[in-house]
Chain A
Amino acid sequence: GAVVSQHPSRVICKSGTSVKIECRSLDFQATTMFWYRQFPKQSLMLMATSNEGSKATYEQGVEKDKFLINHASLTLSTLTVTSAHPEDSSFYICSARDSEGVGETQYFGPGTRLLVL
């Protein structure tokens, strides 16, 4: 199946700093990528939809100025958590939709665990 990678796999940062997370589709092109957040022992919650070449669409309650999304190419989307605080500590997971694939399948990355001290 299609492969999606994320980098870094885990990151620890100080409160107030910014952290960038990359999501790459390795063997397919993705005009649409999605960013999810998962707190411990909870489900995945959609944060935003990232569209190549246009602005991201954010879900209600997600601050667009805090979670900056850039989808600069058909294989790369980045999520930057700006001025991170301890409450931003979470598991961030991206998914990518195969633009030329059959069906509506989204392929998930392995996730990035963020810990803000």
Chain B
Amino acid sequence: GQQLNQSPQSMFIQEGEDVSMNCTSSSIFNTWLWYKQDPGEGPVLLIALYKAGELTSNGRLTAQFGITRKDSFLNISASIPSDVGIYFCAGQRRGGADGLTFGKGTHLIIQP
């Protein structure tokens, strides 16, 4: 199946630093979503984006839906130890009746 191009694959940062990751696709998605997955658990939704150009924040997290509808980015400001985990972007084509296409994930590691 198709996967989205997500980068970087992993990040090693110092606590307090800002983090940025992005996803691109060769095709259009009508919804972009960002999830965080801890080991052995299911993904937890962080931010959902429904309109091209939309910029949405959730606490220290900010995500944007690209104008072309083929990309999205997620920023995390002032990282803290509990931000450690794997972050996935996901795209949805037509709406709620569609399953999600996931990126390969960004493994965030924070050094205290």
A105 to B49, alpha carbons, bound, how many Å? Answer: 10
Q: For B105, list chain A residues within 8 Å (CB).
A: 43
Interface SS, A side: strand
A43 to B35, alpha carbons, bound, how many Å? Answer: 12
CB distance from A7 to the nearest CB of B (A): 13
A110 to B96, alpha carbons, bound, how many Å? Answer: 20
Q: For B75, list chain A residues within 8 Å (CB).
A: none
Q: For A4, list chain B residues within 8 Å (CB).
A: 42
Centre residue among A1, A95, A104, A109 by max chain B CB count within 10 A: A104
Residue in B42, B43, B48, B102 whose CB lies within 8 Å of A103: B48
A45 to B104, alpha carbons, bound, how many Å? Answer: 10
Residues from 51 to 88 in A contacting B, C-beta threshold 8 Å:
59-61
User: Counting CB contacts under 8 A, is A28 at the interface?
Assistant: no
Residue in A36, A46, A104, A111 whose CB lies within 8 Å of B96: A104
Q: For B33, list chain A residues within 8 Å (CB).
A: 105
A36 to B102, alpha carbons, bound, how many Å? Answer: 10
A95 to B105, alpha carbons, bound, how many Å? Answer: 18
- Residues on A lying within 8 angstroms of B by beta carbon are 1, 4, 6, 32, 34, 36, 42-46, 49, 59-61, 91, 93, 95, 97, 103-111, 113
Give 5 closest A-B pairs by Cβ, nearest first: A108-B42, A46-B99, A104-B96, A43-B102, A34-B99
